[in-house]
Structure 1
Amino acid sequence: MPSGDIPQLLQQLQASSVDNSSLHGVMLTVEKLCSEYAYTPTEQLLTEGRAWLVRLVQLIQQPMTLAQRREVQVQAGWLALLVACVQYDIGDARTAEVTRRHALSLGGEAGHATIQGWAYEISAWQALTSGNYRGVLTAAQAGAAVAGRHGVSVQLAAQEAKALARMGDSKAALEALDRGRRLLEPMEYPTNIGNHFVVDPAKYDFYAMDVYRHLSSDDAAAEQLAREVLAAGVDWDGSERSVMRNAEARITLGTVTARRGDIDGAIEWGIKAISTDRKSLPSLLMVARDLTGAINKAAPDSPQVIEFTEQLHDLGGHR
């Protein structure tokens, strides 16, 4: 190759037909979609997420600078994470796992530790809801190794705590919970707490609530955290900002109520929790087992208990 051709080749490498303002628009759209996860109907979010992934695939085929290419990979990585979450919410675990792996690959190609960390966090969540608690620990540790002190490490610690609580190791669960809290405390408060891939103190209370509910060693703490989750997740006009978190908070209140012997009150909380339109079925069914365990222990032959258990079975059948 003649040496005179090298500058021309380098110039072509740096040439771009992509408008930076258009790329900025993509970033804003991805942020918007990730912020709508908590309340947007699953099919709508899935359709929009897929459509934007197609647009990014088309975009990356155009000439662009290396910096722009990396940014497209990053935005595609966030979208893939979001789509994987929604796919898993509706019970499509196999497709969700494929999408999650693509997100992990995109994060690796872009050198983006946070995206890689969240890909492992989704793996931990999948393992948790399927009862593979050792798998949760493996995924959480792998994610923490790549994510370092990024915000996702806080949520990885929380997933680890939830698994350890279900394994019966209350001491280790509380230690993991405390480790996540200590990681969170020095971090700057996020500018957009609505983004699903952001961890803030209120979201961490949601994870702590799960741990205390499952340990059943401190129902007062579980109840207090559940009420704080509901207070943060309901707007001034009664509309719900965090539908799925609120459902799990109601399951927690129902579980505590059942342990106190109020079966009618417990079932009322449970019915309200499973009646929401926006659901993460694997997560909801997982936490509902704590409630059904508590009410079955208190009143196993009650007609209301049998009816509620059947509703849960029907819900699981629509996965």
Structure 2
Amino acid sequence: MAVSGMETLDIISRLQASDVDNATMEALRITTDRLCSEYALLPAPQLLIEGRNWLQRVLALRAQRLTLSQHREVLSMAGWLALLVGCVEYDLGDKRGAEATRRAALSIGGEAEHAGIQGWASEMRAWFALTTGDYRGVIAAAQAGGEVAAHQGVAVQLAAQEAKAWARLGDRRQTEVALDKGRRLLEGMPYPDNLDNHFVVDPAKYDFYAMDCYRMLGENRMAEALAGEVIRASTDFDGAERSPMRIAEARLTLGVVAARDGDLDGALNYGEWALRGDRQSLPSLLMVSRELATIVNRDYADAPQGRAYLDHLTELSQAAH
């Protein structure tokens, strides 16, 4: 793939030179941004291979003759790539590898004195804790990250993760406090240049966070309305899905609401639809799918179509381990 007028092979050959010029650094910046921007759509195994390869190449640059500013920028690019690799590892169910990569990114962010990278490493810790049911761990990670990255875009997502944890603990007041904090932070930030970059907070994503919280709090109509808005905002005019993982969780939210309303067929239709996506984050998908499964088990235990959905979910859970 051409990168800023320079082919990948050209970049790699330049990386082997004793000195790294400005054109090479710019090509690496663009490559890093491109990879982070392909998170939502590129098949996870392919993105993982590319991300790891470029991370190794960037880290190898530290052995070259670099200026002080180049050294810091190389560390920053390595930090973003490590964050990306860790996210994809976790999506694929490699929890141990993802945590090791997250810690490496945190260390790189500290060495580079880059608050954004350190903040995103904390956000990943909060995400990991959320999907494993460690809600107090989510709150601790979110608050720690918020202290380090109070003026970075990631502070919005850290507040949202905290809100999601409070919602699961059943604390409506603290959920609203955290959501309001994130909303205020978002309103005070400039509109981002590249919404596709996974480590840029998309203002439209805040409805996605709020949807999760209101679903957990049993606010069915609010969750349903927000799910519809998430699907609309994440779909192009031609029907192409720009954010398939967000859409999957929105469909699961609609499924949970349908199940609570007594519409089993509608609930299972949404539930199965959510499981069919090509690009999935298995831990997050399974976390929300289990909410629907709990209702099906409790309220529709004798329905054969419910059993088929539960079996499908069990297969997916086994594949994630």
The answer, yes or no, to whether TM exceeds 0.5 is: yes
Map of 1:37 onto structure 2: 39
Normalised by the size of structure 2, how large is the TM-score?
0.93
Normalised by the size of structure 1, how large is the TM-score?
0.93
Gaps of 5+ in 1: 1-15
Could you say which structure has the larger radius of gyration?
A: 1
Q: Name the CA distance, whole Å, in 1 between partners of 2:36 and 2:258.
A: 34
Contact 2:259 2:295 survives alignment (8 Å): yes
SS at match of 1:37: coil
Map of 1:162 onto structure 2: 164
Deviations 1:35-70 (A, max 9, x none): 110111010000000110111122221101000000
Letter in structure 2 aligned against 1:54: Q
Contact 1:266 1:295 survives alignment (8 Å): no
Map of 1:108 onto structure 2: 110
Letter in structure 1 aligned against 2:116: T
1:91-106 counterparts in 2 under 5 A?
91-106=93-108
Deviations 1:65-110 (A, max 9, x none): 0000000000000000000000001111111111001100111111
How far the C-alpha of 1:293 sits from its partner, in A, is: 2.3
Contact 2:235 2:243 survives alignment (8 Å): yes
1:129-208 counterparts in 2 under 5 A?
129-208=131-210
Q: Name the CA distance, whole Å, in 2 between partners of 1:288 and 1:170.
A: 22
Map of 1:9 onto structure 2: none
Letter in structure 2 aligned against 1:146: V
Contact 1:259 1:295 survives alignment (8 Å): no
Deviations 1:202-240 (A, max 9, x none): 111111110011111x21111111111111111112111
Letter in structure 1 aligned against 2:209: Y
How far the C-alpha of 1:189 sits from its partner, in A, is: 0.8
Map of 1:57 onto structure 2: 59
Contact 2:123 2:142 survives alignment (8 Å): yes
Q: Name the CA distance, whole Å, in 1 between partners of 2:70 and 2:274.
A: 44
Letter in structure 2 aligned against 1:91: G
Q: Name the CA distance, whole Å, in 2 between partners of 1:304 and 1:170.
A: 34
How far the C-alpha of 1:150 sits from its partner, in A, is: 1.1
RMSD of aligned Cα (Å) = 1.0
Letter in structure 1 aligned against 2:29: M
Q: Name the CA distance, whole Å, in 2 between partners of 1:311 and 1:37.
A: 26
Letter in structure 2 aligned against 1:124: A
How far the C-alpha of 1:297 sits from its partner, in A, is: 3.5
SS at match of 2:60: helix
Q: Name the CA distance, whole Å, in 1 between partners of 2:288 and 2:302.
A: 21
Map of 1:242 onto structure 2: 243
1:19 to 13, 21, 26: 21
Q: Name the CA distance, whole Å, in 1 between partners of 2:205 and 2:282.
A: 19
Letter in structure 2 aligned against 1:195: N
SS at match of 2:42: coil
How far the C-alpha of 1:149 sits from its partner, in A, is: 2.1
Q: Name the CA distance, whole Å, in 2 between partners of 1:276 and 1:89.
A: 13
Q: Name the CA distance, whole Å, in 2 between partners of 1:297 and 1:212.
A: 21
1:280-295 counterparts in 2 under 5 A?
280-295=281-296
How far the C-alpha of 1:295 sits from its partner, in A, is: 2.9
How far the C-alpha of 1:298 sits from its partner, in A, is: 3.1
Map of 1:310 onto structure 2: 311
How far the C-alpha of 1:171 sits from its partner, in A, is: 1.3
Aligned length in residues: 303
Map of 1:7 onto structure 2: none
Q: Name the CA distance, whole Å, in 1 between partners of 2:275 and 2:206.
A: 22
1:266-281 counterparts in 2 under 5 A?
266-281=267-282
Q: Name the CA distance, whole Å, in 2 between partners of 1:263 and 1:241.
A: 28
Deviations 1:163-205 (A, max 9, x none): 1111111111111111111111111111111111111221111
